Amino acid sequence: MNKTLIWIVVGILAVAGLSAVAFMQFGPRSEPAASAVPASAVPALAAPTSAVPASAVPVTPVPTAASISATAVATAAAATPAAASADSKGSAPAPVVVAFIPAASSDTGVAAAQPSTAVPSATPTIDELIQNQALYEGSSIALRGTILTQCTAGCEFALDDGTGVLSVQLEGKGKDRLIPLGKVGKKIEVHGVFRAAPRPQVVIEDPNGWQFVK
Please report, rounded to a whole number, the percentage of residues in the chain having pLDDT higher than 90. Answer: 43
- Angstrom distance (rounded) from CA 14 to CA 59: 98
- Angstrom distance (rounded) from CA 147 to CA 123: 18
- Angstrom distance (rounded) from CA 209 to CA 179: 11
Residue 76 — pLDDT band, cuts 50, 70, 90? very low
| Eight-state DSSP code of residue 209 | S
Report domain extents, the chain: 126-212
Residue 206 — pLDDT band, cuts 50, 70, 90? very high
Class of domain 126-212: mainly beta
Kindly report the pTM of this predicted structure. Answer: 0.47
Q: How many CA atoms are closer than 13 Å to the CA of 41, on its beta-carbon side?
A: 4
Helices and strands of the chain, counted as H and E runs: 4, 6
Q: Where are the alpha helices (DSSP H) in the chain?
A: 2-26, 65-88, 126-131, 133-136
| Eight-state DSSP code of residue 104 | B
pLDDT per residue as tens digits for the range 175-189: 999 999 999 999 999
Residue 134: how many other CB atoms lie within 10 Å = 6
Q: Read off the pLDDT of each residue in 29-49 and give the average, rounded to a whole number.
A: 51
pLDDT per residue as tens digits for the range 5-16: 787 877 788 777
pLDDT per residue as tens digits for the range 149-185: 999 999 999 999 999 999 999 999 999 999 999 999 9
Backbone angles phi, psi at 29, to 5 degrees: -110, 140
| 167 close to 200: Cβ distance less than 8 angstroms | yes
